[in-house]
Amino acid sequence: QVTIDKIAAGEVIERPASVVKELAENAIDAGATSVTIEIKEGGISYIRIADNGCGIAREEVPSAFLRHSTSKIRSVDDLVHIGSLGFRGEALSSIAAVSQVELVTKTKADTFGTSYRIAGGKEESLDDAGAPDGTTFLIRQLFYNTPARRKFLKTPMTEASHVGELVTRLALSHPEISFQFINNGQSKIHTSGNGNLKDVIYHVYGREIAANLLAVDYERTGMKITGYLGKPLISRGNRNFENYFINGRYVKSNMIAKAIEDAYKDFTMQHKYPFVVLQMEIDGEHIDVNVHPTKMELRFNNQQDVYSSVYEAVDRGLHAEEL
Ligand code: ADP
Ligand code: MG
């Protein structure tokens, strides 16, 4: 089991940012309204993720670290209509296989919290603990027992910037949740969680971008697209500022990027990499979320439909300014 988990970990956990992604998504799934992410040394030696979500009941703590243990999926059908971010039950077992994990968690119903330690896939302790409602994970010494993986990590500064980008995307996709990111003791991001996407954009990208936005509000059968477009004058040098989320999930798609860029191109007569933040709600039947374990790439049943919807949404947003 430990060996299998170590191998599985290679698919899910590549670097500190993947640990943060999985644990932060669990916090979101747990209904948290506040999530704190703290790292030291790029997250290689230390990651702390604290949420005020539903917590994990004492008797479910050890089993949550078993491979394919998930409380979020009951049938294959659920996979298609998936609402939560996690669904494979691989994250905790994978993380615990390649690091030293300490967990403190408490549900509303439990009087005492639970503190649990597991390292290299081996359970070390399970105790009572005084704790607020919610869950805190401490992850220490990532890849301490898989030197080959550890060797592939970049400098702490680079790893920290991956975590920062991830927290930015989480904050953009969930304006209703307050995210704090602390790097080496310094608070880098702290969103209010007031639900206003424009406030999040202002906070993470600054005044110049926030002052030059056009709203998108588009709907057609099975698809809804809302968010903001940067005015063409604030285009950027690469695709890093094209943020789009499908059903709350940050994804990458050449097809969606092209739809966005094509709409800008037809509007400005120039190829640009625009700034956008788009939240897309697409009916579950149209997408296949089970393409890759890290869930970044989605497959669509009808590519053309999605392309034309995104194009149209952006095109209308850009033209709305002229009215
Ligand atoms: P998945 O998210 O795919 O279900 P994970 O391995 O990420 O699998 O988590 C296993 C289970 O542990 C989850 O299904 C959930 O029940 C529980 N869990 C993990 N993190 C949290 C959290 N922050 N708050 C509440 N429950 C959690
Ligand atoms: Mg998960």
Using the predicted structure, report yes or no on whether residue 16 has a pLDDT greater than 90.
yes
pLDDT of 73: 53
Q: Is the pLDDT of residue 300 over 50?
A: yes
Name the least confident of 8-22, 43-57, 100-114. 8-22
pTM to 2 decimal places: 0.90
For the cut 70, the answer to whether the pLDDT of residue 323 exceeds it is no
pLDDT of residue 79: 46
Give the residue whose CA is nearest to atom 18 of ligand 1.
26
Average model confidence (pLDDT) across the chain: 90
What is the CATH architecture of 207-320? 2-Layer Sandwich (3.30)
User: Which atom number of ligand 1 is nearest to the Cα of residue 54?
Assistant: 25
Please give the pLDDT value at position 76.
46
Select 2-190's CATH number: 3.30.565.10, 3.50.50.60, 3.30.1490.20, 3.20.20.140.
3.30.565.10
- Listed by start position, the domains of the chain span 2-190, 207-320
pLDDT of residue 295: 55
pLDDT digits (tens, 9 = 90+) for 150-200: 999 999 999 999 999 999 999 999 999 999 999 999 999 999 999 999 999
Atom of ligand 1 minimally distant from the CA of 92: 6
Least confident of 122-136, 219-233, 239-253: 239-253
pLDDT score for 72: 67
Assign 3-class secondary structure to the chain: CHHHHHHHHHHHCCCHHHHHHHHHHHHHHCCCCEEEEEEEHHHCCEEEEEECCCCCCHHHHHHHCCCCCCCCCCCHHHHHCCCCCCCCCCHHHHHHHCCEEEEEEECCCCCCEEEEEEECCEEEEEEEECCCCEEEEEEECCCCCCHHHHHCCCCHHHHHHHHHHHHHHHHHHCCCCEEEEEECCEEEEECCCCCCHHHHHHHHHCHHHHCCEEEEEEEECCEEEEEEEECHHHCECCHHHEEEEECCEECECHHHHHHHHHHHHHHHCCCCECCEEEEEEECHHHEECCCCCCCCECEECCHHHHHHHHHHHHHHHHHHCCC
Find the residues whose C-beta lies inside 6 A of ligand 1: 22, 26-27, 30, 51, 53-56, 64, 69-72, 86-92, 135
pLDDT at 147 over 50: yes
Q: Which atom of ligand 1 is nearest to the CA of 85?
A: 2
pLDDT over 70 for what percent of the chain? 89
pLDDT at 148 over 50: yes
What's the confidence (pLDDT) of residue 86?
55
ipTM of the complex: 0.99
Residue 81 or residue 119, greater confidence: 119
Residue 4 has pLDDT above 90, yes or no: no
The residue whose CA is least distant from atom 4 of ligand 1 is: 70
pLDDT tens per residue, range 78-87: 544 455 555 5
Order of strands, sheet of 100-106, starting from the edge strand that comes earlier in the sequence: 122-129, 113-119, 100-106, 134-140, 46-51, 34-40, 178-183, 186-190
Query: What's the pLDDT at 291?
Result: 56
CA nearest ligand 1 atom 16, residue? 71
- Whole-number Å distance, alpha carbon 91 to ligand 2 midpoint, is 5
Between the CA of 80 and the centroid of ligand 1 the distance, in Å, is 19
pLDDT at 67 over 50: yes
Measured at the alpha carbon of residue 252, what is the angle toward residues 250 and 254, in degrees to the nearest 5? 150
Give which of 235, 217, 234 is closest to 226, Cα–Cα. 217
How far is the centre of ligand 2, averaged over its atoms, from the C-alpha of 305 (Å)?
30
Task: Please state which of the ranges 23-37, 60-74, 174-188, 225-239 shows the lowest mean pLDDT.
Answer: 60-74
CA 48 to centroid of ligand 1, rounded, Å: 16
